[in-house]
Structure 1
């Protein structure tokens, strides 16, 4: 039930957030890794089974675990739930419950009605996750953190479009060039500064701007899976952002 176990889950399941957490100050990692590990476990739940009911049960396990922590009960003995029990208050649990609940889309895979519906989903998912992490670090600028989280979540979502399609999901309400470019521009408009206390959590969105700019300029990259930049370029940007704040 250690921080190392949470870090290993994130390293294997969400390499980008692992790199972002490792670029954060060491003291922040004890907050970031358990929260990010919960996100990995919830993201994995719909895809480890072909039975929707079993996937829903896996997600409900985490929602129940968070409800118990919020109620002040002893956290379940689990490599992620146990450290979360020492970290979260009731509001933090409610935020992460929203993140877990949003993963139900991965079970049903319904098409989003429009861009607003997709962005609302990303607010619950990536926006909620970033705000939960930033709040646990002592930040109070919820609107800025959520907006940046949505921008980062949208960048990752667009980069994953081919993977979603391969799983018979409909990740975009409209996959035409004009619609993709407009969506990317909306994501770019959400990017802004966050408070000093929120910066370790904000590092998770380090590739939001370059990815969204690519999507806005060349929407075909989204359908073709060509949004992600070279690893060395991405790493250099992360290090620069970590150093400059």
Structure 2
């Protein structure tokens, strides 16, 4: 299962996953769901089809694990650990609206990913969640600044991130993958919305962040 799900991940989350240690399964499951649903949205030729796929996930995650269909490796891996995942789905779905999305279209995605990350942090017994939320918002905005097709929305994502880039919350070791993503995001935003892994130095930066968290 693990190898199949890793292949679905963007390069940045694959690099971040390398620092997950004993929490690899939890982080891989979260990253894989984020990537799976993001693929529906960012590659959508027919928004209605993407909405139907997201609705399927929303419906299945609302069920007890014993009541779900068997055979989807990712759905099986999620099990009963669903805190924050509905907000993640809702946030991705908000990006299907007609561009320009504006702040009211971007904020559900940003806050949804932050809520989902905080839910994962709780499952990893992390007590102080503010730093996790800030780092997740930074990651979300860096993704938007690079991946959205509308130039005004990309600029808005950069503007929304401006205050966050000056804050560098220390994250506990169970959240080391998030520290990697926050660091890569800060670099990408400083370069005007570049890819998170956008130059030859990026893997080495990810390695340093994975080892030391800074």
TM-score range, shorter chain: 0.7 to 0.9
Q: Identify if the C-alpha distance between structure 1 residues 155 and 120 changes in structure 2 by more than 3 Å, giving closer, same or farther.
A: same
Query: Which position in structure 2 is the counterpart of 1:145?
Result: 132
Query: Which position in structure 1 is the counterpart of 2:3?
Result: 4
Query: Which position in structure 2 is the counterpart of 1:31?
Result: 26
Structure 1 SS opposite 2:201? helix
Does structure 2 retain, via aligned residues, the 8 Å contact 1:111–1:171? yes
Query: Which position in structure 1 is the counterpart of 2:212?
Result: 244
1:75-86 alignment to 2 at 5 Å? Answer: 75-77=68-70, 78-85=72-79
Deviation of 1:57 after TM superposition, in Å, equals: 0.9
Post-superposition CA distance 1:93-139 (Å, at most 9, x none): 2401110111112322343444x7634531213x1343233333222
Structure 2 unmatched runs, 5+:
none
Mapped partners of 2:100, 2:208: distance in 1: 38
Indicate which of 2, 12, 33 corresponds to 1:16. Answer: 12
Do structure 1's residue 200 and structure 2's residue 168 form an aligned pair?
A: no
Structure 2 SS opposite 1:232? coil
Deviation of 1:72 after TM superposition, in Å, equals: 5.1
Indicate which of 190, 199, 205 corresponds to 1:231. Answer: 199
Q: TM-score under structure 2 normalisation? A: 0.83
Structure 2 SS opposite 1:171? helix
Deviation of 1:47 after TM superposition, in Å, equals: 4.9
Q: Root-mean-square deviation (CA), in Å?
A: 2.7
Mapped partners of 1:141, 1:205: distance in 2: 17
Mapped partners of 1:28, 1:106: distance in 2: 30
Mapped partners of 1:200, 1:212: distance in 2: 18
Structure 2 SS opposite 1:186? coil
Query: Which position in structure 1 is the counterpart of 2:85?
Result: 96
Deviation of 1:48 after TM superposition, in Å, equals: 5.2
Structure 1 unmatched runs, 5+:
216-221
Deviation of 1:42 after TM superposition, in Å, equals: 0.8
Mapped partners of 1:30, 1:23: distance in 2: 12
Mapped partners of 2:69, 2:179: distance in 1: 29
Deviation of 1:54 after TM superposition, in Å, equals: 1.9
Structure 1 or 2: more helix by fraction: 1
Mapped partners of 1:53, 1:137: distance in 2: 35
Structure 1 SS opposite 2:73? coil
